[in-house]
Amino acid sequence: MGCVGGYSGTNLRAVILDNLRSAYNAGSIIRTVSALEYDSVALCGVTITPPSIKLKKTSRSLDEKVNWRYFKTTAEAVEKYKQDNYKIFALEVMDSSELITEMPQVENIAWVVGNEALGIDEAILKECDAIYHLPMLNKLEGINVSCAFSSVAFFEYLKFQI
């Protein structure tokens, strides 16, 4: 468990990092988590955890200030957040995913973002309450995971003024 840096209330947000390989992506996501006062970040599988010089540098030492938890598997993290009454939303481009603009306002969301090369594991996607994607205007299949998460997190914040 990391240091407490999130807020408490009835409309919590968390992000679950599904085996991210890059310390730079994890650090960037931690910066977004801190900026928007997310309740927590789950670091799963091979995702780097503090203490780490790379993570400290890319997160600008915010890895010491956000509430983080390590889970051996992403499935364990999803199960824990479900037990804590979070809806599990995935950010993944696929035929069955919905455009992020269709997302309804929901209390207590844990976003799952996937491995840079492999995306989110199929078994994890089956456990999600909804799967959303960002609009891609030039037929790209996706953008960098930290950029995508930041886009969704700020979009949701601005849309619903959490």
Read off the pLDDT of residues 76-90 as tens digits, 9 standing for 90 and up: 999 999 999 999 999
Instruction: Check: CB of residue 124 under 8 Å from CB of residue 16.
Output: no
CA distances from 86 to 12, 19, 111, 129 (A): 8, 20, 9, 10
pTM of the model: 0.90
54 — pLDDT class (breaks 50, 70, 90)? confident
Lowest mean pLDDT among 56-60, 112-116, 133-137, 155-159: 56-60
Token couple for 31:
């910066």
Residue tagged 């910066």 (tokens): 31
Domains, the chain, with CATH or none = 13-160 (3.40.1280.10)
Q: What percent of the chain has pLDDT over 90?
A: 67
Q: 87 vs 140, which has greater pLDDT?
A: 87
Mean pLDDT, rounded, for 30-58: 89
Give the DSSP H/E element, type plus range, for residue 71. strand 68-71
Token couple for 25:
């992506």
